[in-house]
Amino acid sequence: MSAHLPPDHTSVPKQKIGVLLLNLGTPDGTDYWNVRRYLREFLSDPRVIETNKLLWWPILNLVILSFRPQKSGHAYAQIWDREKNESPLRVITRDQAENLAQRLGGEDIVVDFAMRYGNPSTESVLKRMQAEGCQKILLVPLYPQYSATTTATANDKAFDALKTMRWQPAVRTAPAYFEDPKYIETLANSIRDGVEALPFEPDVVITSYHGMPVEYLKKGDPYHCQCYKTTRLVREYLGWPKEKLMVTFQSRFGPTEWLQPYTDKTLEALPGKGLKKVAILAPAFSADCIETLEEIAMGGKETFMHAGGEEFAYIPCLNASPSGMDMIEAMVRRELMGWL
């Protein structure tokens, strides 16, 4: 292409294909202002909080952001990667992007990652990829189950960035993969391997999904159904009885009713039912983060043991494990068909 351009023409980079892994986000530090900045962006997203803005603005800015950053900052401090001075979510998502880049190989493919909230921002990475010559970009929201609060808002942010580009790349968005056979196989094997490695036999294994207000379900969000289908397919793959693998929902926020059963209430009740040995995992997350490492692995264990539990184990997310990356690679190659 460059050979046919006049001598004074702006240089045109070689055409490339981009793959952009999208995840939720993280503050840049555990201090008050970094956490406040992150929470403000997150809780100002109308996809996440659908309350009328006139009602929500004073609640968010005058109440929640006055005290929540200290509490969240303390929680982040419990799991912060001190060596890299980053949250585990950013460290792991970067590892996933770098691993995928090695697997796809070639100078004609650019693989990167971005966060819906915080850094690296979706806009900055998309613009960098476009400047590097990516004229075709696959957006890969790393959420197995679709929700407007996760997949949709991640794509929204990318589309907002595209609006500002004079030379837009062609864009594809990867669909949710909650029932993808490769994902089900990988998740099921990680559960089986995790359980077999334990020094005890769990009475029950809990798949704890991030919660959402019941109102969102009533408005048509498919997340609830997809969570249950993921667990059902995993249970069928493993050949386990229905009572061995259960579904709960965590991370509720505010006074409204959220999807039930609640993870914390379930952990409180199980010992009283004679189920005192538990293993738990969080299939809605592609990478371990504050909701898995602090809320579940730490807080969930404390809740369960305080209620009379005897054994508790957290099974990590797929993260950048070889099997987890096999799954991501297979999904990305499928969605790139016709481009590669």
- Binding-site residue ranges for Fe(2+): 210, 291
pLDDT at residue 9 greater than cutoff 60: no
pLDDT tens for each residue of 119-137: 999 999 999 999 999 999 9
The C-alpha atoms of residue 20 and residue 23 are separated, in whole angstroms, by 10
pLDDT at residue 29 greater than cutoff 60: yes
pLDDT of residue 8: 65
Residue 302, strand partner residues: none
pLDDT at residue 327 greater than cutoff 70: yes
To the nearest whole number, what is the mean pLDDT of the chain? 96
One domain, residues 34 and 106: yes
pLDDT tens for each residue of 73-84: 999 999 999 999
Query: Does residue 118 belong to any structural domain of this protein?
Result: yes
pLDDT of residue 276: 98
Output the six-digit token pair for 321: 């494990």
- Binding-site residue ranges: 210, 291
pLDDT at residue 107 greater than cutoff 80: no
Query: Does residue 229 belong to any structural domain of this protein?
Result: yes
Residues contacting 37, CB < 8 A, separation 6+: 27, 28
Query: Does residue 1 belong to any structural domain of this protein?
Result: no
Say which CATH number the domain at 297 has: 3.40.50.1400
How many CA atoms, within 13 angstroms, populate the side-chain half-sphere of residue 130? Answer: 17
Instruction: Report which of 81, 76, 138, 74 is spatially closest to residue 112, judged by C-alpha positions.
Output: 138
One domain, residues 214 and 330: no
Neighbour count for residue 336 (Cβ, 10 Å): 17
The C-alpha atoms of residue 47 and residue 116 are separated, in whole angstroms, by 12
pTM beyond 0.85, yes or no: yes
Residues contacting 29, CB < 8 A, separation 6+: 35, 85
One domain, residues 204 and 72: no
pLDDT of residue 105: 86
Residue 86 has what DSSP assignment? B
Signed CA dihedral, 199, 202, 206, 207: sign only: positive
One domain, residues 152 and 41: yes
pLDDT of residue 142: 98
Residue 205, strand partner residues: 245, 279
pLDDT of residue 2: 54
pLDDT of residue 188: 98
What is the mean predicted confidence (pLDDT) over 51-59?
94
* Long-range contact pairs involving 164-170 (C-beta distance under 8 Å, separation at least 24): 164/123, 165/126, 165/127, 165/130, 167/130, 168/130, 169/18, 169/129, 169/130, 169/134, 169/135, 169/136, 169/137, 170/135, 170/136, 170/137
Range of the domain at 36: 16-176+323-335
Encode 205-237: b = buried (16+ Cβ within 10 Å), e = exposed.
bbbbbbbbbeebbeeebebbebbeebbebbbeb
The count of structural domains within the chain is 2
pLDDT of residue 4: 66
Query: Parallel, antiparallel, or unpaired for β 277-281 and 204-210?
Result: parallel
One domain, residues 26 and 167: yes
Whether residue 143 contacts residue 150, with contact meaning beta carbons closer than 8 Å, is answered with yes
pLDDT tens for each residue of 275-306: 999 999 999 999 999 999 999 999 999 999 99
pLDDT at residue 15 greater than cutoff 80: yes
One domain, residues 48 and 144: yes
pLDDT at residue 314 greater than cutoff 70: yes
Query: Does residue 10 belong to any structural domain of this protein?
Result: no
What is the mean predicted confidence (pLDDT) over 144-162?
98
Output the six-digit token pair for 8: 């004074």
Q: How confident is the model at residue 141 (pLDDT cuts 50, 70, 90)?
A: very high
Percent of residues, the chain, with pLDDT higher than 70: 97
One domain, residues 252 and 120: no
One domain, residues 80 and 102: yes
Neighbour count for residue 9 (Cβ, 10 Å): 9
pLDDT at residue 86 greater than cutoff 90: yes
Query: Does residue 11 belong to any structural domain of this protein?
Result: no
Query: Does residue 6 belong to any structural domain of this protein?
Result: no
One domain, residues 192 and 43: no
Query: Does residue 298 belong to any structural domain of this protein?
Result: yes
One domain, residues 20 and 168: yes
The C-alpha atoms of residue 329 and residue 55 are separated, in whole angstroms, by 44
Query: Does residue 21 belong to any structural domain of this protein?
Result: yes
One domain, residues 232 and 104: no
pLDDT of residue 340: 86
One domain, residues 94 and 62: yes
List helix spans (H) across the chain.
Answer: 32-43, 53-59, 65-79, 88-104, 122-131, 153-163, 181-196, 214-218, 223-238, 263-269, 301-306, 322-335
